[in-house]
Amino acid sequence: MVSISFKNKLSFVFGAFLKGGLLGFIAFPLAGFAEDLGAMWGTGEAEAEYYRIVDVPIPPEVPMHPGSFDILPDGRLAVGTRRGDVYFISGAFENPPNPSYQLFASGQDEIFGLSWKDDALTITQFGEVTRLTDTNGDGMADRFDTLSNNWGYAEGHEFAFGSKHDPQGNIWVALGLSGSYHSRNLFRGWAVKVTEDGRMIPICSGLRSPGGVAANREGVMFCIESQGPWNGSCSLKHLKPGGFLGHPASYNWYPFADGIKAPALEPNSNSRILVEKKRVKEFVPPAVIFPYIKMGRSISGFRLNQTGGKFGPFDDQLFFGDYTLSIIMRATTEKINGVWQGACYPFREGLSTGIMNVEFTPRGQLIAGGFTTNRQWPVRGEAPFAIQRLDWTGKVPFELKEINIRPDGFLLNFTRAVDRKVAGNPQSYAMTTYTHNFSAGYGSPEVDHTVPSVTQAEVSPDGLQVRLKVDGIQESHIHDFDLAKLRDSRQQPLLHTKAYYTVNEIPGLASKP
């Protein structure tokens, strides 16, 4: 057993950019990167008033490249690493952190999923889902049971990202393609679930390069997907049983998926999501699209906030890391006409490395961690690896809390009461819409822009909601909200003035095939 105490806080250098990274989500150069990001964010100093970043020290003796987290029943933080180790950390949630690290297991491979259940830790790693057990009570795993390795893997892009146990005890796994473009090994580009007794059940096809799997507040499973072929931007995708999620490379494994019928058609390239979701009936459109650079560039692990108000006013929302931009974002989802959709919102910048995963603590803190490597993918934060915390200071920021669609517009929910005069003026709201090419090409610019008109703004009696009537809602478009003119009742501006709602369906107006 290795147990290391480390009391001296690490000081990380927050720099502009570092070429490095793990996953190769994005292969574009960094030209114009700083200018674009500053225009969209540039709010880190103001954000710190509400959510401060706390470093969890990592001693030099620990080769820590965090890839996944879980909270143990005794309150310790479990960390799975890219190098295949599992550490249990005591003291990570204290103020200030005074962590001690205990090595629980080693010899595994790129651990991007951790879930504790029934006195054992289940990990999702490169080639399998494995149950680790300490049978003799010495603090280290001595039994390693392969639950399933019923998928193929052969090269460095074929990552596997695993969920927590669902209510039935299953682990959901999202499998990246071969070389990011092809499906050369079994079930590459699929989501599967692994039962407690080791059966692997294929769920849906059409993934490219996922970066995390988790449930929303309704318990429905989603994965985050990276920009690339057939993905104009990063997006949150519903893992719908029997569905097709957009990338046709994995069609070749339908003969091995008992009970799932292959789609009769493949999508057309150089098309649009609106066209293809009506043409390919199995196609499940992205629930939330994160506009490129405006809202992430290589989005990674995410988790549902169920802290009961300990993390501020954002309960039951999803929080995401981003590997390239070293930021945290949030998203909300809702089901309209049987289809999931929702919005994404900026949250916190200024983290010190490429964020691979996040986890909420029992105290209501958000753990974020990750690393950079020498594989020539861009990362904004310069630290080679880090574990950090976001701690709520107790102050409530003036934020757009959530957007919900209505048949003739949107309902905006705020964390603090708005100035009624400003918020009741339709001219206070600016909105554009756009979509992306649905194409085999890598990524897409924003295309098919429109400018909806806000015709009415009705403020609720408590000032926490504004009901907008909008002419020109566009199905299968991102609705880009600019709320810079709004003020709260104390004449303070919004902490973040932008939000992005993906309209897959309009209530009461079901899509027709």
Residue 41 has pLDDT above 70, yes or no: no
Residue 156 has pLDDT above 70, yes or no: yes
Domain of 464: which CATH number?
2.60.40.1220
Is 511 domain-assigned?
no
pLDDT digits (tens, 9 = 90+) for 240-260: 999 999 999 999 999 999 999
Token pair of 136 as six digits: 């003799």
Last residue of some domain: 392, 423, 446?
A: 392
pLDDT for position 376: 62
For residue 487, give the nearest of 425, 394, 403 by alpha carbon: 425
Per DSSP, 34 falls in state H
Token pair of 224 as six digits: 């985050």
Q: For the chain, give the mean pLDDT.
A: 91
Same-domain pairing of 371 and 408:
no
The dihedral built from the CA positions of residue 294, 332, 163 and 336, taken in this order, carries a sign that is negative
The mean pLDDT value for 140-161 works out to 95
CA–CA dist 22, 5 (Å, integer): 28
- Is 103:85 a contact under the CB 8 Å cutoff? yes
Same-domain pairing of 385 and 456:
no
Same-domain pairing of 252 and 123:
yes
Residue 270 has pLDDT above 50, yes or no: yes
The mean pLDDT value for 38-42 works out to 56
pLDDT digits (tens, 9 = 90+) for 346-366: 999 999 999 999 999 999 999
Same-domain pairing of 422 and 333:
no
Same-domain pairing of 147 and 51:
yes
Conformation bin of residue 205: beta by default, left when phi > 0, alpha when psi is -120 to 50? beta
Domain of 221: which CATH number?
2.120.10.30
Omega within 30 of 0 (cis) for the link into 96:
yes
Strands (E), 337-374: 339-348, 355-360, 366-371
Half-sphere exposure at residue 209, Cβ-oriented, CA atoms within 13 angstroms: 28
Same-domain pairing of 443 and 301:
no
Q: Which pLDDT band, with edges at 50, 70 and 90, does 25 fall under?
A: very low
Which residues lie across from 329 on neighbouring strands?
320, 346
Q: Which pLDDT band, with edges at 50, 70 and 90, does 15 fall under?
A: very low
- Is 342:505 a contact under the CB 8 Å cutoff? no
Contact partners, residue 202, CB within 8 Å, separation at least 6: 187, 190, 191, 192, 253, 256, 257, 258, 260
Is 491 domain-assigned?
yes
pLDDT for position 265: 96
Q: Which pLDDT band, with edges at 50, 70 and 90, does 496 fall under?
A: very high
pLDDT for position 513: 46
Residue 13 has pLDDT above 70, yes or no: no
CA–CA dist 346, 371 (Å, integer): 21
Q: Which pLDDT band, with edges at 50, 70 and 90, does 375 fall under?
A: low
Residue 169 has pLDDT above 90, yes or no: yes
Same-domain pairing of 34 and 93:
yes
Residue 212 has pLDDT above 50, yes or no: yes
Residue 26 has pLDDT above 50, yes or no: no
Determine the 3-state secondary structure of 17 from DSSP. Answer: coil
Listing from the earlier edge strand, what are the strands of the sheet with 210-215?
210-215, 221-225, 234-238, 288-290
Q: Which pLDDT band, with edges at 50, 70 and 90, does 374 fall under?
A: low
Range of the domain at 416: 400-503
Same-domain pairing of 341 and 463:
no
Residue 18 has pLDDT above 60, yes or no: no
Contact partners, residue 182, CB within 8 Å, separation at least 6: 188, 249
Is 509 domain-assigned?
no
Is 205 domain-assigned?
yes
- Is 224:236 a contact under the CB 8 Å cutoff? yes
Contact partners, residue 486, CB within 8 Å, separation at least 6: 418, 419, 422, 423, 428, 493, 494, 497
Contact partners, residue 145, CB within 8 Å, separation at least 6: 130, 131, 133
Same-domain pairing of 362 and 495:
no
Residue 103 has pLDDT above 70, yes or no: yes
Is 234 domain-assigned?
yes
Is 513 domain-assigned?
no
Same-domain pairing of 361 and 232:
yes
For residue 396, give the nearest of 512, 489, 282 by alpha carbon: 489
CA–CA dist 208, 180 (Å, integer): 6
* Size (the chain), residues: 513
Token pair of 88 as six digits: 């249990």
Determine the 3-state secondary structure of 276 from DSSP. Answer: helix
Is 382 domain-assigned?
yes
Token pair of 148 as six digits: 């399933």
pLDDT for position 348: 98
Cβ neighbourhood burial of 63 (10 Å; 0-12, 13-18, 19+): middle
pLDDT digits (tens, 9 = 90+) for 445-476: 999 999 999 999 999 999 999 999 999 999 99
pLDDT for position 155: 87
Same-domain pairing of 329 and 405:
no
CA–CA dist 320, 328 (Å, integer): 6
pLDDT digits (tens, 9 = 90+) for 389-422: 999 999 999 999 999 999 999 999 999 999 999 9
For residue 149, give the nearest of 101, 194, 83 by alpha carbon: 194
pLDDT for position 133: 98
Please report, as a single letter, which amino acid is at residue 384: P
How many domains is the chain partitioned into structurally? Answer: 2
Last residue of some domain: 370, 392, 414?
A: 392
Q: Which pLDDT band, with edges at 50, 70 and 90, does 29 fall under?
A: very low
- Is 289:274 a contact under the CB 8 Å cutoff? no
pLDDT for position 11: 25
Supply the DSSP string of 233-269, one letter for each residue. SEEEEE--TT-B-S-GGGGGGGGGSTT-PPPS-PPPS
Same-domain pairing of 330 and 448:
no
CA–CA dist 413, 67 (Å, integer): 34
Last residue of some domain: 392, 417, 441?
A: 392
Please state whether the predicted TM-score (pTM) of the whole model is above 0.85. yes
Per DSSP, 423 falls in state H
pLDDT digits (tens, 9 = 90+) for 213-232: 999 999 999 999 999 999 99
Q: Which pLDDT band, with edges at 50, 70 and 90, does 509 fall under?
A: confident
The Cβ of residue 385 has, within 10 Å, a number of other Cβ atoms equal to 22
CA–CA dist 426, 407 (Å, integer): 18
Supply the DSSP string of 99-162, one letter for each residue. -EEEEEE-S------EEEETTEEEEE-SS-EEEEE-SSSSSS--EEEEEE--S---STT--EEE
Q: What are phi and psi of 428, to 5 degrees?
A: -80, -5
